[in-house]
A and B are shown apart, each in its own frame.
Chain A
Amino acid sequence: MPVIILNNISKFVCKNINLKILNKEFLVLLGPNGAGKSTLLNVIAGLIDYDGSVFFEDECINNLPSSERRIGYLFQDLYLFPHLDVFSNIAFSLKIRKNNPNKIKHRVDELLKMLRIENLSHCYPKKLSGGEKQRVALARSLAAEPEILLLDEPLSSLDLQSSKYLRRELKQLQKKLGITTIYVTHNLTEAEEIADRIAVMEQGKIEQIGKAEEIFFSPKNKRVSEFIGAPNILDCNRYRNLGKGIAEVDCEGLSIIIPDEGKKVKKIVMLPRDIYVTEIKPPGPEVNRFKGVITDINTTNEVVRLKLKAGKSSLLAELPHHIYNGMNLEIGKEVFFILKLRNIKCI
């Protein structure tokens, strides 16, 4: 049953957006900067005026002020109140709801423990590290036990390791609390790792919504495909378990080794950036190494894309400019390419 329904929402870049978010779902809004993701969060939170309707369950909440929407909102830059210590930041929503001091202390202590920041209770935000600030902001948004949690690129300012760690924690926490969550990001890996469903947004429109595999294996149109990195999707017609966690599949004339997940594979998908191209035959075992011919070269601002023909397959590979410039590649030239085993996704 959907807990949030957006009906013909229009604001700034967003035009007539319709979206249903299910109860206890972890939905990721994925899209480039300026796609309208944060605008949509602000609409749900009631922080901006908008055209259209927002329903929580069956009730239209257009006229409900932000303060009464029972939402926890984690902003991109967190905005911890600098003049309040960690305890008071977390207790803020409880104090203004006039909870009694014992209850406030109990709830704040519970959150401090849950997010493992008990030792920071009396610190001011300026003394905290990026990860600690993240945890405090999350605790603050959860303090009043909101029914919906909105997260606007909350991990974008963290280093890769901390971001990955906190992402896992966030997902576990969401499952434990059973709270409907909408998470905004432009990072595909983040979305894939954390989402129950992903909604891909481009220029104020939801282009596609579905599970991560659906987005990867069946991008609805070129815009979605381009945004997720123009993946190569190959049909598989033979599957052979080789043991030791790997299997062999025959995909359009290429015999490819894939990670074995114990089920028959119908399709595999790999991103162009996960295909390594070289002019000379690479040393080492002949695993996922093929010879192909360049049939097209397409240069964009960010990368150079090569179209490779190998067997019956046509694959797209991607090189950064500085690597492409150091090679002598042209249409019709024979090259070698390697598919990175760990980055092959299967369905």
Chain B
Amino acid sequence: MKILRKLIPGWGAIPVIIFLILWEIIARINLISGELFFPPFSLIVVEFYYLTANGVLGNHFFSSFSRVLIGFSFGTIAGLFIGILMGWKSLIHKALNPIISLIYPIPALGWLPLLMLWLGIGEILPIAIIFICSFFPILYNTSTGIKNVDKNYINVAKSLGASNREILTLIVIPLALPNIFTGLKLESGMAWRVIIAAEMVAIPTGIGALMMRAESLMRIDIIIVCLIVLAAMCFIFERFFLYLENKFTALWS
């Protein structure tokens, strides 16, 4: 419960409630267009219930969620590991930085055609896209965070008798945490945006694919349900990392 309370701040809900009421009123009095193109919020809730009850939403959501979780976890672990190495060892930074600087600006979805040919259309494709989407920014933030730690903290730790490994684990990584969490917060939301886009283009399951199917059936209510799920997941993921960041750094940063 404590975690839930921290994730959803009380006062922040008020504007959302006002927005939903306005939405309902505007749709009911046909201020914008017919019910088909702009269904009221209550109909979206009903559709959400149907999609959940018959398991359609759950199946598609689980497909997207598992892809994000696996791709983001691997991307984060690899990004943290190589980012720490690059930030700590200037030789590794010199060797890898030119390559990473070239690849980093390519948007994750830009890899999609290439990966479709290389990996084929299957479960590994969206995971690979999410991996790429999270790996580079997390690597970049981590290596920058490590490099930006004031060298005087390192000198102090050295003079107190710490070995290089102890300096890295006890001083440098903790001091780089604010930077690392900035990367994690941004990319956890981005992973969801990218997976939906990838599923819309190339993968037959997942929230993105459900949206495309709804579009072909003119089911705007389903599209909105999917968008709400997407917004909620981006929000929850970002809030989760904000919570972790506060837990680990709020006392001192």
Contacts and interface: CB of A to CB of B under 8 A. Distances in A.
B152 A125 contact: no
Contact of B157 (A71, A92, A141, A150): A92
A67 interface: yes
A220 B251 CA distance: 53
A83 interface: yes
Contact of A82 (B158, B161, B170, B175): B175
A126 interface: yes
B169 to A, nearest CB: 10
A19 B177 CA distance: 43
B181 to A, nearest CB: 13
A81 B152 CA distance: 10
B101 interface: no
Given A66-B158, A71-B159, A79 B166 contact: no
A264 B157 CA distance: 51
Interface string B150-164: 101101111111110
Given A47-B155, A77-B152, A96 B161 contact: yes
30 contacts: A45-B155, A45-B159, A47-B155, A66-B159, A67-B160, A67-B161, A68-B161, A71-B159, A73-B156, A73-B160, A75-B152, A75-B155, A75-B156, A77-B152, A79-B156, A81-B153, A81-B156, A81-B171, A82-B252, A92-B162, A93-B161, A96-B162, A96-B166, A124-B252, A125-B252, A126-B252, A141-B159, A143-B160, A144-B160, A150-B159
B204 interface: no
Interface centre among A65, A71, A96, A124 (most CB of B within 10 A): A96
A92 B170 CA distance: 9
Contacts of B177: 83
B249 to A, nearest CB: 7
B152 A79 contact: yes
Interface of B: 150, 152-153, 155-163, 166, 170-171, 174-175, 177, 249, 251-253
Given A81-B171, A83-B252, A97 B161 contact: yes
A99 B172 CA distance: 22
Contacts of A65: 158
A238 B166 CA distance: 66
Given A67-B161, A92-B160, 15 more contacts: A45-B155, A45-B159, A66-B158, A72-B159, A75-B152, A81-B153, A81-B156, A82-B175, A83-B252, A92-B162, A96-B161, A96-B166, A97-B161, A125-B252, A126-B252
Interface of A: 42, 45, 47, 65-69, 71-73, 75, 77, 79, 81-84, 92-93, 96-97, 124-126, 140-141, 143-144, 150
Contact of B158 (A47, A77, A144): A47
B170 A96 contact: yes
Contacts of A69: 159
Contact of A79 (B150, B161, B249): B150
A41 B205 CA distance: 65
Contacts of A150: 159
A33 B156 CA distance: 21
A146 to B, nearest CB: 9
Given A79-B150, A82-B252, A125-B252, A67 B156 contact: no
Contacts of A141: 159-160
A166 B159 CA distance: 23
Nearest to B153: A79
A85 to B, nearest CB: 8
A47 B155 CA distance: 7
A82 B253 contact: yes
Contacts of B174: 83
A96 B156 CA distance: 13
B248 to A, nearest CB: 9
Nearest to A66: B158
B186 to A, nearest CB: 22
A323 to B, nearest CB: 40
A119 B36 CA distance: 67
Nearest to B174: A83
B152 to A, nearest CB: 5
A79 to B, nearest CB: 5
7 smallest A-B Cβ distances: which pairs?
A73-B159, A93-B160, A66-B158, A67-B161, A83-B174, A79-B156, A82-B252
A251 to B, nearest CB: 48
Contacts of B162: 67, 92-93, 96
Contacts of B249: 83
A140 B160 contact: yes
Contacts of A68: 161
A92 B174 CA distance: 14
A151 B159 CA distance: 12
Interface centre among A66, A84, A125, A144 (most CB of B within 10 A): A66
Nearest to B253: A82
A96 B160 contact: yes
B253 A144 contact: no
Contacts of B153: 79, 81
Interface centre among B162, B163, B166, B177 (most CB of A within 10 A): B162
Contacts of A140: 160
B251 A124 contact: yes
A66 B251 CA distance: 31
Interface centre among B155, B161, B174 (most CB of A within 10 A): B161
